[in-house]
Structure 1
Amino acid sequence: MVDVGVARERPREGMSVLENHVTSSVQRKGNGHMPTQGYEEELRSERDYVAGLYTRLDAERARAKDQYSAALRGRDGTAMEREDQVRALGKAVQRLEVADNGLCFGRLDTLSGERSYIGRIGLYDEQNEFEPLLLDWRAPAARPFYVATAANPENMRRRRQFHTRGRQVLDFTDEVLGRPDDGERGDAALLAAVNAPRGEGMRDIVATIQAEQDEIIRLEHPGVLVIEGGPGTGKTVVALHRVAYLLYTQRERMERQGVLVVGPNPAFLNHIAHVLPSLGETNVVFTTAGELVPGLRVTAEDTPRAARLKGSLKILEVLAAAVADLQRLPEEPVLIELADVTVRIDAATAEWAREEARGSGRPHNEAREVFREIITYVLTERAIARIGKDWLTRDDREAWEQLREDLVDELAEHAGFAAALDELWPIMTPEEFLAQLYSSPERLRAAGADEALGRADGDAWTVSDVPLLDELIDLLGRDKPVDQSAERERRAEAEYAAGVLDVMVSREDMMDDEDHLFAQDLLYAEDLAERFLERDTRDLAERAAADRDWTYRHVVVDEAQELSEMDWRVLMRRCPGKSFTVVGDLAQRRSVAGATSWETMMAPYVPGRWVYRSLTVNYRTPAEIMSVAAGVLAEFAPDVAPPESVRACGVQPWSRRVTAGELPAAIEEFVRDEAGREGTSIVIGPPGVPGTVPASATKGLEFDAVLVVEPQQILADGPRGAAELYVALTRATQRLGVLHQGPLPHSLTGLTEIGAPVSAGNSL
């Protein structure tokens, strides 16, 4: 945040109009025309109050830790109840642990003179639990801190913002509200945040949420919320703060199932991973679309044509036809030689069994049991008729049933019969099935599939394969149905053991020192529990991430414009309640199978249950850089208005033309110069250029300085090259440079061409 001393100084040259307005606004309103002595006294008072909040926080933290330790040793209630209590108290401790940094960041004064302090969590008076000492930023009473303006003060007289370091209040700035002639909110804290050098990860914006963002964060909509915004509008961080808000207002329901956050790549997930924990929320699973099937490893990339085919819902017809093609009829009767007779599986028998199996409604692997039962019935009937034709009648029921039982047992152990079943109705995992389909032109033709789906290495998985494999889990079913009954038996034994242990522990208090028999019983119960009760000690996020069948209370999807129709089918399956926060920008779409409109993607799943909100203010990209990117945007998306930047940085983006031999040295020079500066930097270029990363790998990320290499090649690389270049240009928060060998694209304007080598003396 900007401190009062800095705010009183003369604005530096190169400041934006908004920065100059904020500086003069804080100078004019900064401490309400408070004399220096009065300001110092007020600052001491605020420091004392915040110090008291930290004392209260420490006491709450100590109390929570004591309760947690006691719960670990406790014996009241059932084992499950004790486990739930331990986990709940553990989460309470975690929330208190993250509150140290920026515990209190502001104060609101009402027209009637009441004061409310706003912070990262809520704290209450120890003697009066209904008396708030600190309001949680998500509480309804804290909302004016984010939305009140001079023209619309929300019944507030003053908004005070603290500048802190650790537990110390360094200074504060005030805004006196209710003066329409003073204009809109001059947010020194916001400008300090957007101008600050970038770190390794995204920061929360809990102290600087803007009114446009706050409205979306607090939106009470039970269905799908689509948030669209251009680069730098803060749509990702708004979505994450919305999750924190929902966890605050619906904690019991949300925590039982958790939240899933889906991002475009691992680098992006690493970038945002700290935001929710910093707000005290941990029941969140972070994943990419390529990781939605646990244990699968994506190693390849589809051609655009294959990606488009796999992303369309029409692929469902191909998968269903390919599964049906597995369920075959014998071209010639299959002979099964038993001990006393030879029987055969003919096409008519297999067809009857196939119809019964398909009619069962079970997935393919599970329906095989129906297929096997029908085949077994027919073969045993035929065998009995031939074996007992001279001596056995149906009136001899006992002998008939005994012979049937013997034949059923013989078929169950018969290798030839098992091989026939595997040929006519094979059990397959989704991975085996899809790998064989891709590598077999014959099977692709039989399923009516496009030849573009074929590939030699069938199990070289791509991101587009993930929704198909997920679909096949339901089409094929589990590959070992018998294991499910075994798992049910194991769980039943575990529950029984837990019950025995609970009973024994509840009686332990009645045991005296000489009751050795009971002590032995107790040890037996503990041993039983250790043998059978394999308690899952993983936290919710770990359990959910490893379980394909886990369903979430809420799902956040970032860079959602890249998801295909099949991707959405997977995600909707993960959230039966259809509670989503969807974040994206159609203008940045790279995937050929991605969204061209939100209506197309949402209507099949949540007709009438999705709402759209847009973010229009660019908090990240300075005006100088955004004007360059806007030229590219106008070229490929002329109907899309670029977001309006809130600031200028005073540094003009530059370009430099180099030869092929000069390019590596120019890249190295940029990297070397930026290494000596505070903040982060990156070099973005087309595939194949050493020392660069593709724009697609930087989606959602931000850097202080960006060097874009060979923009013309980026434009030429695929059908969405213009969107790639737009993404590359809008990653920078301070400095942007461009290196090019040929002429610059005509859409790339507003760059200052420099001829001298790039160095620290140039305006980078």
Structure 2
Amino acid sequence: MSAASTPDSDPLARERAHLASSRTALRAMREDVEALDIRDVTANWVNAQILTRQIEDRIKALADHADTPLFFGRVDYLPTTQQGQRFYIGRRHVHDADGDPMVIDWRAPVSQPFYRASKKNPQDVRLRRRFGYTGGELTAYEDENLTDPAEEERTSRLLQTEIERPRVGPMRDIVATIQPEQDEIVRSGLGGTVCVQGGPGTGKTAVGLHRVAYLLYAHRERLARTGTLVIGPNRSFLHYIEQVLPALGELEVRQATVEDLVSAHVEVRGADDAAAAVLKGDARMAEVLRRALRSHVTLPTEPVVVVRGSRRWRIPAYEVEEIVRELLARDMRYGAAREALPQRIAHAVLVRMEAAGEAPDDRVQDAVARNTAVKAAVRTLWPQVDPAKLVLRLLSDAEFLSAHAEGVLTADEQKTVLWQKPPRSVRSARWSAADAVLVDEAADLIARTQSLGHVVLDEAQDLSPMQYRAVGRRCSTGSATVLGDLAQGTTPWATRSWAEALAHLGKPEGRLEELTAGFRVPRDVIAYASRLLPHIAPGLAEVRSVRENPGSMEVREVPVDARDAEVVAACVESLEREGSIALIAADPRTDALAAALAAAGVPYLSPGEETRPDARLTLVPASLAKGLEYDYVVLDEPAAVVDAEPDERTGLRRLYVALTRAVSGLRVVHAAGLPEALGGGA
């Protein structure tokens, strides 16, 4: 823009002026909230504390980050629709002093055509404008005249630039680049569960996070009561995604791993071998636990005699047995049935009182239920059970396990899950992650787990059936978004089909969506990695990458004695480029490579430390690479990645994950022969 340019004569100047006005309006909105005096609206201390926190959260949500654009797009409607109005689309709503919108939240219905309108279906949009930014400064714009037949459909240059922008630090939001097929999933209703199968670079994680943000916008009051949760595979992954929702103004979404969810009852200090872990994660264990729990219920052999004043009320054993059998037949939670039993016995006493001419009320029934004889009968017939002690006995006592696993687990399978050295107590036991899930299942059989309104489950392909059940308990009355890629399953119990996974989750009616368009991983890289698909996921569609990035793929064979030095050299070369760099290697190789990097004076980070300013290179064990993305990846010794796993198929899946972490370029360095599934070369 020349010095003589004015907002009236220069479209870019007009847009910059609107950006400046919007920032001023946002600052005024924030100042209005900061000026609130809660003493004017409440004198109650508890309410004041709640209101104070809500105000603090609102102030945070209205923060204006100088390097984050307030708006990234604009839609101009036809005169016949929305009165021909113009709307700026951004990460949050901004209004002026009169309450008129200056920026519309990307989740609002009026914003939807920005993502879905096309020449074939303009959705009453005359013009769509995208904005380009350098830092926080608006530097460019690009228009699509959707109703002009003379203008050809074309790929947006600014959109492509934004998609390919180098990554530094944690994952960022994609509100400016959401594609139509992604937007349909993001805006699908709260009532239904959606399962998204998506290969590397298709944006499934971003879709899941933006779906949470959309649901909180569309159903805020309901989800404020019931809660939302994002579940990831590990802490490194959660650290990587943790800034996405706050950047969209959503501060109350909890994030956790499955291990976090089930850790309330026992401390995980041990580990299972693969065979035991697979069996403990098998859905059949739920039936074994149910049988073992119900075995604590015994039938009465004596009557219950209740003394009230000078009267004795006798409930014969056969009648108490009928009550117990009825509660068992209803298949209630063990704890709920135990709480109902004394009331049922008390009701039987009240029937006799009424027959004798008395007029007892509910207070009398409650008093009878608390009678010493009734409480003693309940302790005998339906004793309290601790979930951890129940699992401890199952895994320690061969006879107890056999009695309740008969017809469910074979004799050999029972031997596999039994502890070799039974611990003395719950506290001294070296519980494994799979054991903790069993304890969580037992706890739910006793008392219902609280359900949330919506749960996002990412990297779901690596969950066992029992882990799916643990997640499903957390959304039994809510809905879920399940995200994963069957080709990236790297556990011995990896998911075989999404229909099976949804059934274990308790959502068999869930809708399956497939994302096949890749926006992050270059075409050459995904094509190379896809050589493994016939071996790891036959029949799964190959990702169609929209990114043409010639020269993004290199396979370098080096002498064994020079391998570590060559890997370090490849890292140094990659560091000359802009963006984040990762060195991915088989877990047993990371110590040697760490020493080589240190000897060469190359600083590096561990996964989850990417926000540290002193280094751009992250040394990533292959076991932690899932879900992470880097601009450039150096992959050390593919054969070692495969060999580090218990079987070849799992190893090839781990390799597929490692090969697809790069979003700009991949260098493979190897001294050993490449796995045969890769075809022996690039």
Taking structure 2 as the reference length, the TM-score comes to 0.76
Query: Is the aligned partner of 1:178 residue 2:147?
Result: yes
SS at match of 2:430: coil
Once residues 171 and 155 of structure 1 are traced to their aligned partners in structure 2, the CA distance between those partners, rounded to angstroms, is 25
SS at match of 2:627: coil
Q: Match of 1:105?
A: 72
Query: Is the aligned partner of 1:631 residue 2:531?
Result: yes
Q: Match of 2:459?
A: 559
Once residues 283 and 175 of structure 2 are traced to their aligned partners in structure 1, the CA distance between those partners, rounded to angstroms, is 40
Closer/same/farther in 2, CA of residues 457 and 698 from structure 1, 3 Å limit: farther
SS at match of 1:690: helix
Once residues 451 and 507 of structure 2 are traced to their aligned partners in structure 1, the CA distance between those partners, rounded to angstroms, is 21
| Superposed displacement of residue 82, structure 1 | 4.0
Q: Match of 1:88?
A: 54
SS at match of 1:184: coil
2:272 to 298, 302, 305: 302
| Superposed displacement of residue 426, structure 1 | 8.4
SS at match of 2:473: helix
Gaps of 5+ in 1: 6-34, 330-349, 374-407, 478-547, 753-764
SS at match of 1:109: strand
Closer/same/farther in 2, CA of residues 354 and 325 from structure 1, 3 Å limit: farther
| Superposed displacement of residue 137, structure 1 | 0.9
Once residues 44 and 655 of structure 1 are traced to their aligned partners in structure 2, the CA distance between those partners, rounded to angstroms, is 48
Query: Is the aligned partner of 1:697 residue 2:624?
Result: yes
The total of aligned residue pairs comes to 588
Query: Is the aligned partner of 1:266 residue 2:204?
Result: no
Closer/same/farther in 2, CA of residues 444 and 214 from structure 1, 3 Å limit: same
1:578 to 478, 484, 488: 478
Once residues 584 and 637 of structure 1 are traced to their aligned partners in structure 2, the CA distance between those partners, rounded to angstroms, is 13
SS at match of 1:175: strand
Does the Cα contact within 8 Å between 1:619 and 1:645 map onto a contact in 2?
yes
Once residues 463 and 354 of structure 1 are traced to their aligned partners in structure 2, the CA distance between those partners, rounded to angstroms, is 39
Closer/same/farther in 2, CA of residues 351 and 722 from structure 1, 3 Å limit: farther
Closer/same/farther in 2, CA of residues 369 and 683 from structure 1, 3 Å limit: same
Once residues 453 and 352 of structure 1 are traced to their aligned partners in structure 2, the CA distance between those partners, rounded to angstroms, is 40
Please show how residues 471-620 of structure 1 align to structure 2 within 5 Å.
471-476=441-446, 549-603=449-503, 609-620=509-520
Q: Match of 1:233?
A: 202
Does the Cα contact within 8 Å between 2:258 and 2:467 map onto a contact in 1?
yes
Q: Match of 1:728?
A: 658
Does the Cα contact within 8 Å between 2:6 and 2:13 map onto a contact in 1?
no
Q: Match of 1:493?
A: none
Please show how residues 257-296 of structure 1 align to structure 2 within 5 Å.
257-295=226-264, 296=266
Closer/same/farther in 2, CA of residues 427 and 219 from structure 1, 3 Å limit: closer
Once residues 204 and 565 of structure 1 are traced to their aligned partners in structure 2, the CA distance between those partners, rounded to angstroms, is 31
| Superposed displacement of residue 623, structure 1 | 0.8
Gaps of 5+ in 2: 300-316, 344-370, 424-428, 592-618
Q: Match of 1:334?
A: none
Partner AA of 2:54 in structure 1: A
Q: Match of 2:633?
A: 706
Once residues 545 and 296 of structure 2 are traced to their aligned partners in structure 1, the CA distance between those partners, rounded to angstroms, is 58
After superposition, the C-alpha distances for 1:688-716 in whole angstroms (9 at most, x for unaligned) are: 22346443411111112222233234334
Closer/same/farther in 2, CA of residues 457 and 562 from structure 1, 3 Å limit: farther
Q: What's the % identity of the aligned pairs?
A: 37
SS at match of 1:744: coil
| Superposed displacement of residue 738, structure 1 | 2.0
SS at match of 2:676: coil
| Superposed displacement of residue 668, structure 1 | 3.1
Closer/same/farther in 2, CA of residues 683 and 326 from structure 1, 3 Å limit: farther
The range that moved more, 604-613 or 170-179, is: 604-613
Does the Cα contact within 8 Å between 1:357 and 1:370 map onto a contact in 2?
no
Once residues 368 and 37 of structure 1 are traced to their aligned partners in structure 2, the CA distance between those partners, rounded to angstroms, is 78
Closer/same/farther in 2, CA of residues 476 and 354 from structure 1, 3 Å limit: farther
| Superposed displacement of residue 178, structure 1 | 2.8
| Superposed displacement of residue 469, structure 1 | 1.3
Query: Is the aligned partner of 1:464 residue 2:428?
Result: no
Once residues 182 and 720 of structure 1 are traced to their aligned partners in structure 2, the CA distance between those partners, rounded to angstroms, is 50
Partner AA of 1:454 in structure 2: L
Does the Cα contact within 8 Å between 1:98 and 1:277 map onto a contact in 2?
no
After superposition, the C-alpha distances for 1:630-677 in whole angstroms (9 at most, x for unaligned) are: 111133323122111111222242223345433333333334444454
| Superposed displacement of residue 684, structure 1 | 2.6
Does the Cα contact within 8 Å between 1:289 and 1:466 map onto a contact in 2?
no
Greater Rg over alpha carbons, structure: 1
Closer/same/farther in 2, CA of residues 57 and 167 from structure 1, 3 Å limit: farther
Once residues 166 and 659 of structure 1 are traced to their aligned partners in structure 2, the CA distance between those partners, rounded to angstroms, is 44
Query: Is the aligned partner of 1:64 residue 2:28?
Result: no
Closer/same/farther in 2, CA of residues 181 and 431 from structure 1, 3 Å limit: farther
Does the Cα contact within 8 Å between 2:133 and 2:139 map onto a contact in 1?
yes
Partner AA of 2:96 in structure 1: D
1:431 to 377, 388, 391: 388
SS at match of 1:231: coil
Closer/same/farther in 2, CA of residues 327 and 76 from structure 1, 3 Å limit: closer
Does the Cα contact within 8 Å between 1:119 and 1:135 map onto a contact in 2?
yes
SS at match of 1:662: helix
Does the Cα contact within 8 Å between 1:229 and 1:615 map onto a contact in 2?
yes
Once residues 626 and 288 of structure 2 are traced to their aligned partners in structure 1, the CA distance between those partners, rounded to angstroms, is 32
Partner AA of 1:744 in structure 2: L
After superposition, the C-alpha distances for 1:62-82 in whole angstroms (9 at most, x for unaligned) are: 001122xx12x3563655544
Once residues 478 and 250 of structure 2 are traced to their aligned partners in structure 1, the CA distance between those partners, rounded to angstroms, is 21
SS at match of 2:133: strand
Q: Match of 1:315?
A: 285
Once residues 667 and 725 of structure 1 are traced to their aligned partners in structure 2, the CA distance between those partners, rounded to angstroms, is 17
Closer/same/farther in 2, CA of residues 277 and 474 from structure 1, 3 Å limit: same
Does the Cα contact within 8 Å between 2:193 and 2:507 map onto a contact in 1?
no
Does the Cα contact within 8 Å between 1:227 and 1:235 map onto a contact in 2?
yes
Partner AA of 2:118 in structure 1: T
